[in-house]
């Protein structure tokens, strides 16, 4: 006989809600412990969302390896979902701004060299998405898929909505990239607010380290969009000049 599934059991809430153990519990005030509890939950939920984001992007790269129409349409939805999850992670940083400075200073001394820079999931996300100076794996996977089907990224960007699913993927990639940058910039702002120029716990330079890495990914795609914009603007300008000359 099957055991009835309960909400508590399905989500394994007993385990999940017992995973917060502030290191300040035996050292600091109740207020500091509560703030550290908040700090832990924010970072744990971040790692959970990163797990989902990485799973979604893995499915997207698989779709790019086959370029089957139905899978590409699914990839559009997944890319937009990742972009929305990155926006959620940014909002979580906004919530972290409610972490009292004095409480953070109190419990930070217990963290040793622990740092968000040590997150293997964050490093994997950075490897997939890339930045302004280094291509990740996501965009090249799409570009290679397009080439296998006889197209080019330049033609897709030039065609715009006429490119159909491929155009929607381009738009979704840009949505994701903007969300990724927003999250990184939010991290810079939060760190600057609570640490100023204090070095990071992992030995980094802190704000400067984060700021150097807050750049837009998908450089080639953005350059192609810029070229199309310039051509359209030039053509429209020439057409307007022609209309003006005929009316003189």
Residue 105 lies in domain:
29-109+130-238
What's the whole-model pTM score? Answer: 0.87
pLDDT of residue 21: 94
- Whether 220 is covered by a domain: the verdict is yes
Q: Which of 114-128, 200-214, 227-241 has the highest mean pLDDT?
A: 114-128
- Residue 174's domain is classified under what CATH number? 1.20.58.480
Higher pLDDT, 172 or 203: 172
pLDDT averaged over the chain?
89
pLDDT of residue 185: 87
pLDDT of residue 227: 92
- Whether 57 is covered by a domain: the verdict is yes
Higher pLDDT, 232 or 168: 168
DSSP for 97-142?
TTS-HHHHHHHHTTSTT--GGG-HHHHHHHHHHB-SSSB-SHHHHH
CA dihedral 26, 28, 32, 37 (to 10 degrees): -10
Residues 6+ apart with CB under 8 A from 20: 37, 40, 41, 44
Q: Are 206 and 114 in contact (CB under 8 A)?
A: no
- Whether 119 is covered by a domain: the verdict is no
- Which has the minimum average pLDDT: 51-60, 161-170, 199-208? 199-208
A 10 A CB-CB count for 100 gives 14
Asked whether residue 201 carries a pLDDT value surpassing 80, the answer given is no
Higher pLDDT, 200 or 195: 195
State the pLDDT confidence band at 223, using cuts at 50, 70 and 90.
very high
> Please, what sign has the CA dihedral across residues 9, 89, 180, 146?
positive
- Whether 206 is covered by a domain: the verdict is yes
- Whether 139 is covered by a domain: the verdict is yes
- Whether 247 is covered by a domain: the verdict is no
Asked whether residue 36 carries a pLDDT value surpassing 90, the answer given is yes
- Whether 11 is covered by a domain: the verdict is no
Residues 6+ apart with CB under 8 A from 16: none
For the record, the structure tokens of 48 come out as 């959970």
Which of left, alpha, beta for 208 (phi over 0: left; psi -120 to 50: alpha)? alpha
- Whether 7 is covered by a domain: the verdict is no
Domain count, the chain: 1
């Amino acid at each position: 006989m099957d055991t009835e599934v309960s909400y508590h059991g399905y989500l394994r809430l007993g385990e999940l809600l017992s995973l917060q153990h502030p290191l300040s519990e035996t050292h600091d005030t109740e207020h500091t412990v509560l703030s550290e509890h908040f700090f832990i939950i924010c970072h744990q939920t971040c790692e959970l969302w990163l797990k989902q984001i990485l799973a979604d992007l893995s499915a997207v790269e698989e779709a790019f390896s086959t370029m089957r129409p139905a899978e590409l349409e699914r990839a559009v939805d997944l890319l937009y979902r990742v972009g929305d999850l990155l926006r959620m992670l940014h909002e979580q940083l906004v919530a972290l701004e409610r972490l009292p400075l004095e409480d953070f200073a109190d419990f930070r001394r217990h963290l040793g060299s622990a740092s968000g820079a040590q997150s293997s999931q964050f490093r994997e996300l950075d490897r997939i998405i890339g930045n302004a100076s280094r291509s990740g794996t996501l965009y090249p996977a799409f570009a290679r898929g397009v080439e296998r089907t006889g197209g080019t990224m330049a033609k897709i960007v030039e065609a715009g909505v006429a490119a159909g699913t491929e155009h929607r993927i381009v738009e979704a990639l840009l949505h994701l990239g903007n969300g990724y940058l927003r999250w990184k910039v939010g991290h810079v702002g939060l760190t600057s607010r609570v640490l100023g120029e204090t070095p990071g716990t992992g030995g980094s330079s802190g704000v400067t380290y984060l700021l150097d890495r807050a750049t837009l990914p998908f450089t080639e795609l953005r350059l192609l969009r810029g070229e199309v914009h310039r051509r359209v603007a030039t053509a429209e300008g020439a057409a307007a000049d022609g209309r003006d000359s005929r009316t003189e």
